[in-house]
Amino acid sequence: MCGIVGYFGKREAAPLLIEGLSKLEYRGYDSAGVAILNENGVNVAKRKGRLANLEAALEESPIEGYVGIGHTRWATHGSPSDVNSHPHTNGDGTIAVVHNGIIENYIKIKEWLMTKGYTFKSETDTEVIPNLVDYYYKGDLLNAVMEATEKLEGSYAIGVICKNEPDRLVAVRNESPLIVGLGDGENFIASDIPAVLNQTRDVYLLENKEFVVMTKDGVKIYGDFEKEIEKEVFHVTWNADAAEKGGYEHFMMKEIHEQPKAIKDTMAGRIVPGHPVNIDDIHITKEQIEKLNKVYIVACGTAYHAGVVGKYVIEKLARIPVEVDIASEFRYRDPIIDQNTLMIVVSQSGETADTLAALKMAKERGARVIAVTNVVGSSAAREADDILYTWAGPEIAVASTKAYVTQLIAMYTIALFFAEQKGTVDPHDLEDMKKEMSTLPEKVEAALASEESIHELAKRIKEHTDMFFLGRGTDYAVAMEASLKVKEISYVHSEAYASGELKHGPIALIEDGTIVVTLATQNDLFDKTVSNMKEVIARGANVIAVAQEGHTEIEKSTENVVFIPKVMDLFTPVVAIIPMQLLSYYLSIEKGCDVDKPRNLAKSVTVE
Ligand code: F6R
């Protein structure tokens, strides 16, 4: 986790570093800090808590200078505190480092450095880095950083400045993201593109173990042994405004409303009625698809819930056995994988540590890997055999919404593609599915019209401390995702159960007034789900039902019904999640929570 930035140029560094960090707070916001070089040497300012605390400190005691590094932290080693905040320095404060990642062997290094007389102030793993650089420093910062990183095990993206070399900024990445922003007479480093987008659209996407050296003459990238590398410039085409709130009070609401477009963009050119499914970035052949003995879909959190829908649809349409796994579990069991196994990793960021570890394991064992990711050039995209990008645009709110629906679209696209290649679905039915899928942007738009009534509903139930979500089939996947959204942004305890499982224990939790949201969007399962709903109503539950328009009979059982536009059963997850996202948003608002930055969470989980 954490976000890092760096600046080398002709303008004052502090405001540019702060602006960059403000775009990276989604990566963690336990503390923020900067280190800026000037004639006094390395000047550090850092504060526990949100970036605003650092801004206030800098307003009180400004630091001038044209070269600097900055950091926003999600605590791993050592609690959030001023002393554990980055940047960290060597003993005499001449070398400063910002770091995103985890140094797994830091204790060993720390103990070794202590035998050499080094002392430490913080509980962090990061503090070994400036001290190690100091140990190897013989008048060449790049060399010292290269030697120091040789000793590091784990993940890191680091930015380093040094009092003795005020005309240089050095950076490197390994398993943590890092980009270089290329300006006019000035350059930047950052963990993610939005941090530099107000300044430049031209970036380098760094690979592992690529070293950056910034000087007044520009940027040079080196591989091991100081071999200079020619990098291709990546031109960012999305709008800087796309990374801003665009008039909405919160990023999450903006992103909820961006879903029709995100879905449309993700389907564009891929699902076109009258044409074969076209996934140009996936090169798996018909023969290879026919030989597949197993598909593993591996992901974490919300992305995992998209995978659960993926299992239903790939099995149903392409008739290939699918297992869906939580990445942190998958990597620690001994799954059966061979060259006829396909792994689909689903990751918005493409940087989730557990998902990447599962990806690597599958590749080592001979499986082919498709990455479904939203971030171009992310680690998942680079390491997989095939990539299916979800074109949701940058997702800033910690709670995933638009990335999730585009992950669903990716699951349907893969399922339809495999079905078409294998001939497991009648071509007429397949065509109907493509036509129906093409209408999803407008159906999602129509579902957004329930916003006001959902807000009223949230007001009515905001005092409840427990909630349950029930569903069968793909409705169960939606129930899981809805439940996660509610708990993560409104801190209401919530659980999702498969409707049929209720009688096997959880029904004991139902008492007078308990809020139970029942997803009943599947026509063929409708009656069964309504029966389960009646069982909880009989035990006093206050039921909110979600059903397709036309199923008015459900109103006989509960007056709280949220109708979604009619859609083919296969695709209801894309539409049914919309009122659930709105419900979690308004519960969060009504409870006065921080919608975009829920406590204890970070957007990109780059540690195990
Ligand atoms: C919840 C949420 C998380 C992520 C999970 C995986 O709203 O966003 O559960 O889905 O941390 O992240 P990615 O998709 O980046 O691998």
pLDDT by residue (tens digit) across 36-64? Answer: 999 999 999 999 999 999 999 999 999 99
Mean pLDDT of the chain: 94
Which among 402, 485, 597, 603 is annotated as catalytic?
603
Closest CA to 414 of 476, 481, 344, 474: 344
Q: Is residue 286 located within the same domain as residue 266? A: yes
Tell the residue nearest (CA) to atom 10 of ligand 1: 302
Asked about 528 being catalytic, the answer comes back as no
Question: Residue 241 pLDDT more than 70?
Answer: no
Which range marks the domain in which residue 320 is found?
253-438
341 confidence band (pLDDT: 50, 70, 90): very high
Which atom of ligand 1 approaches the CA of 401 most closely?
A: 7
User: At 358, which CATH number?
Assistant: 3.40.50.10490
- Residue 75: what pLDDT? 81
Q: Which of 192, 256, 302 to mutate to test the pocket of ligand 1 (most atoms within 8 A of CB)?
A: 302
How far CA 78 is from CA of 52, 366, 501, in Å, comes to 21, 39, 41
344 confidence band (pLDDT: 50, 70, 90): very high
* Cα separation, 546 vs 542, whole angstroms: 13
The verdict on residue 114 lying in a domain is: yes
Q: How far is the CA of 404 from the centre of ligand 1 (A)?
A: 9
* Residues 6+ positions from 75 with CB-CB distance below 8 Å: 28, 30, 31, 84
Q: How far is the CA of 163 from the centre of ligand 1 (A)?
A: 39
Tell the residue nearest (CA) to atom 9 of ligand 1: 301
Domain end residue (candidates: 223, 244, 265): 244
Tell the residue nearest (CA) to atom 5 of ligand 1: 301
Instruction: State the pTM of this model.
Output: 0.82
- Residue 1: what pLDDT? 63
Which atom of ligand 1 approaches the CA of 404 most closely?
A: 10
The verdict on residue 198 lying in a domain is: yes
Asked about 291 being catalytic, the answer comes back as no
- Residue 281: what pLDDT? 79
Pocket of ligand 1 (CB under 6 A): 300-303, 347-349, 352, 355, 399-400, 484, 488, 604-605
Domain end residue (candidates: 412, 438, 464): 438
CA atoms within 13 A on the CB side of 452: 1
pLDDT by residue (tens digit) across 78-137? Answer: 888 999 999 999 999 999 999 998 898 999 999 999 999 999 999 999 999 999 999 999
Q: Is residue 57 located within the same domain as residue 108? A: yes
Q: How far is the CA of 305 from the centre of ligand 1 (A)?
A: 10
Which among 2, 231, 254, 300 is annotated as catalytic?
2
Q: How far is the CA of 423 from the centre of ligand 1 (A)?
A: 34
Q: Is residue 142 located within the same domain as residue 173? A: yes
8 confidence band (pLDDT: 50, 70, 90): very high
- Residue 237: what pLDDT? 82
The verdict on residue 598 lying in a domain is: no
- Residue 113: what pLDDT? 98
Domain end residue (candidates: 186, 220, 244): 244
The verdict on residue 600 lying in a domain is: no
The verdict on residue 508 lying in a domain is: yes
- Residue 94: what pLDDT? 98
280 confidence band (pLDDT: 50, 70, 90): confident
- 131-140, 290-299, 387-396: least confident range: 387-396
* Residue 119 and residue 67 in contact, taking contact as beta carbons nearer than 8 Å: no
Tell the residue nearest (CA) to atom 13 of ligand 1: 347
Q: Is residue 239 located within the same domain as residue 271? A: no
- Residue 506: what pLDDT? 87
* Residues 6+ positions from 223 with CB-CB distance below 8 Å: 209, 210, 211, 229
Question: Residue 156 pLDDT more than 80?
Answer: yes
Q: Which residue has the tokens 């592992």?
A: 208
- Residue 582: what pLDDT? 98
Q: Which of 176, 304, 308, 349 to mutate to test the pocket of ligand 1 (most atoms within 8 A of CB)?
A: 349
333 confidence band (pLDDT: 50, 70, 90): confident
* Dihedral in degrees, nearest 10, Cα atoms 306, 312, 316, 319: 90
- Residue 171: what pLDDT? 98
Q: Is residue 381 located within the same domain as residue 460? A: no
- Residue 35: what pLDDT? 98
The verdict on residue 608 lying in a domain is: no
Which atom of ligand 1 approaches the CA of 604 most closely?
A: 15
Percentage of the chain beyond pLDDT 70 is 99
Q: How far is the CA of 355 from the centre of ligand 1 (A)?
A: 10
The verdict on residue 604 lying in a domain is: no
Q: How far is the CA of 349 from the centre of ligand 1 (A)?
A: 8
3-state helix, strand, coil in the chain (%, to 5): 40, 25, 35
Q: Is residue 390 located within the same domain as residue 458? A: no
Q: Is residue 240 located within the same domain as residue 94? A: yes
495 confidence band (pLDDT: 50, 70, 90): very high
How far CA 259 is from CA of 221, 403, 445, in Å, comes to 38, 8, 8
- Residue 318: what pLDDT? 98
* Cα separation, 44 vs 127, whole angstroms: 14
Tell the residue nearest (CA) to atom 7 of ligand 1: 399
As to burial, measured by CB atoms within 10 angstroms (0-12 exposed, 13-18 middle, 19+ buried), residue 287 is exposed
Tell the residue nearest (CA) to atom 6 of ligand 1: 300
Q: How far is the CA of 333 from the centre of ligand 1 (A)?
A: 22
* Residues 6+ positions from 329 with CB-CB distance below 8 Å: none
Which residue blocks in 238-326 are alpha helix, DSSP H?
251-257, 259-267, 286-291, 301-318
User: At 13, which CATH number?
Assistant: 3.60.20.10
- 186-190, 495-499, 556-560: least confident range: 556-560
Which atom of ligand 1 approaches the CA of 348 most closely?
A: 14
pLDDT by residue (tens digit) across 399-452? Answer: 999 999 999 999 999 999 999 999 999 999 999 999 999 999 999 999 999 999
Q: Is residue 236 located within the same domain as residue 274? A: no
Q: Which of 348, 584, 604 to mutate to test the pocket of ligand 1 (most atoms within 8 A of CB)?
A: 348
Q: Is residue 321 located within the same domain as residue 351? A: yes
- Residue 104: what pLDDT? 85
Q: How far is the CA of 351 from the centre of ligand 1 (A)?
A: 10
The verdict on residue 17 lying in a domain is: yes
Q: Is residue 122 located within the same domain as residue 257? A: no
pLDDT by residue (tens digit) across 221-233? Answer: 999 777 899 999 9
Which atom of ligand 1 approaches the CA of 349 most closely?
A: 15
- Residue 224: what pLDDT? 75
Q: Is residue 365 located within the same domain as residue 453? A: no
Percentage of the chain beyond pLDDT 90 is 84
Q: How far is the CA of 231 from the centre of ligand 1 (A)?
A: 30
Q: Is residue 389 located within the same domain as residue 459? A: no
Question: Residue 240 pLDDT more than 70?
Answer: no
- If one counts the domains in the chain, the total is 3
- Residue 439: what pLDDT? 98
As to burial, measured by CB atoms within 10 angstroms (0-12 exposed, 13-18 middle, 19+ buried), residue 289 is middle
Tell the residue nearest (CA) to atom 8 of ligand 1: 400
SS (H, E, C) 162-196: ECCCCCCEEEEEEECCCEEEECCCCEEEECCHHHC
Which atom of ligand 1 approaches the CA of 302 most closely?
A: 10
217 confidence band (pLDDT: 50, 70, 90): confident
